[in-house]
Amino acid sequence: MTMSEPDLRPPPAYLHDPFVSVLLNTLLNHIDKGRARPLRVNNKTLPALFDYSSGNTDYYWSLIVDLADKYGIFLIDLARARPGVEVYEKARLVLQPDAESLLRDWLNRPRMEPYTVSWNRAVERNAPYFMADGAALLAKPIRRQGQTAEQVVDGFAQAAKILHEPMTLRTLSAKCFWADSKFLDSREDLVRRLLPTAATHLITRPLLIHIAMAETTEQVLFIENQDTFLQLLALQCCGSLCSNTTLVNSAGFRGASHRIRQRGATQFSHVQPYNDEQFQTFQQWWFNEGSLYIPCYFWGDLDFSGMAILAALTQSFANITAWQPGYKAMLSYHSRGLCHSAEASEKHRQIDPGAVHCIYTNTFLLPLLRSTKKFVDQEVVSMADLHFNE
């Protein structure tokens, strides 16, 4: 049965039964998401029909039959009958064309305008704020859970209004998009193609790098984890063998930025007093200003992620190699079985970086990780485990 005047037909008395409410709202949800297809009856879509201990399964099925026969909400397409299987298992509920309006009236759920239509209208309304009338936004709508198309576009319009002084992408994002500083992280190119003042006022946030300057920098050691960085700092402060080694905590930048050795893109944070002259010399080396050569090393976790950081660092520091005193100490733990598997430590998604520009890593460390799939974290090593002269 189809309804020519669905708005005149009152809902059934059982409309607000939880089972019926879930069923009918599910049908409308499919339409609103652009997936108007038959609803298959199984223990995932309608679990109450398969909870035989409840004693309600026959009653629930009778409600479905009533919605089909009396109200014409859907057609019931039964699967082939099989012995010992409920008649409704694997049935399909095919929503009738005229029933959508009736359900929306019953459930007070007016038809939602397609997101793309709302998005395009919002962009057109705010076009004066954008370059090329917002063509960059029209090319691909952006969805944000809990926000309408109008609210997302309004965020970009607000960004255009306030970007009239130097501002980082994180600050702009927080001010315009629900205090979420990371919303624009993957959309910098869009922002620069969209906002007229982005070229002059959107500034790149400097990479903040924590360092501990040595009295005389004869080598530089990049350290992955903060705990180990601070322990080596204590050795440096007490005049141990680290006194000629400038320490760099690599956790903040992980060596992956191509900007790391560009002046103006990097800001150093000193964790202890330093000599200005020594720091000037260090900066000249760091920013490739001159011919000074300083050996540099990396020490991090003995796992594929740590090796990937070393590989990334070689993109900016071509001569960097694994710091053998640290890794030899970790190998001693590994050989005694003091290590962990990828699955136990949720490292199963780490990716083997392949060959790196370090003979020691390619010869000893990576082959061990590949053959054993056992890892050692840097923090297990105490400073007494390190032997600098070996």
pLDDT digits (tens, 9 = 90+) for 51-107: 989 899 999 999 999 999 999 999 999 988 888 788 898 899 998 888 988 998 899
Domain-located, residue 390: no
Ranges of the chain with pLDDT below 70: 1-8, 34, 239-241, 252-257, 388-390
179 falls within a domain: yes
Task: Please tell me whether residues 121 and 67 are part of one structural domain.
Answer: no
Single out the residue in 203, 236, 260 at which a domain terminates. Answer: 203
**Does the residue 353 lie in any domain?**
yes
Residues 177, 278 within the same domain: no
Same domain, 47 and 182: no
- Asked if residue 251 is part of any domain, the answer here is yes
Please tell me the predicted confidence (pLDDT) of residue 241: 61
Position 190 scores a pLDDT of: 96
120 lies in the same domain as 190: yes
| Same-domain check for residues 240 and 353 | yes
Name the domain count of the chain.
Answer: 3
User: Is residue 171 a part of any domain in this protein?
Assistant: yes
- How do residues 242-256 score in pLDDT, each as one tens digit? 778 999 998 766 655
Same domain, 42 and 123: no
Domain boundary among 64, 83, 107: 107
Q: What is the mean pLDDT of the chain?
A: 89
3 state SS for the chain = CCCCCHHHCCCCCCCCCHHHHHHHHHHHHHHHCCCCCCEECCCCCCHHHHCHHHCCHHHHHHHHHHHHHCCCCEEEECCCCCCCCCCCCCCEEEECCCHHHHHHHHHCCCCCCCHHHHHHHHHHHCHHHCHHHHHHHHCCCCCCCCCCHHHHHHHHHHHHHHCCCCEEHHHHHHHHCCCCCCCCCCCHHHHHHHCCCHHHHEECCCEEEEEECCCCCCEEEEECCHHHHHHHHHHHHCCCHHHHEEEEECCCCCCCCCCCCCCCCEEEEECCCCCHHHHHHHHHHHCCCCCCCCCEEEECCECHHHHHHHHHHCCCCCCCEECHHHHHHHHHHHHCCCCEECCCCCCCCCCCCCCCCCHHHHHHHHHHHHHHCEEECHHHCCHHHCCCCC
Of the residues 168, 203, 238, which one is the last residue of a structural domain?
Answer: 203
Closest by Cα among 226, 221, 266, 224 to 244: 221
Note whether residue 13 is domain-resident. Answer: yes
**Cα–Cα dist 34/26, whole Å:** 13
What confidence score (pLDDT) does residue 279 get?
94
Whole-structure pTM value: 0.62
* CATH of residue 343: 3.40.1360
pLDDT of 6 reads 43
Residue 1 maps to a domain: no
- Looking at residue 150, its pLDDT comes to 95
Residues 143 and 242 both lie in one domain: no
Are residues 229 and 164 located together in one domain of the fold? no
| pLDDT of 8 | 56
Check whether residue 55 and residue 161 sit in a common domain: no
Residue 128: domain span: 115-203
- Are residues 357 and 261 both part of a single domain? yes
Answer yes or no: is 65 within a domain: yes
Looking at the fold, whether 46 and 33 belong to one and the same domain comes out as yes
- Which pLDDT belongs to residue 5? 46
Same domain, 276 and 225: yes
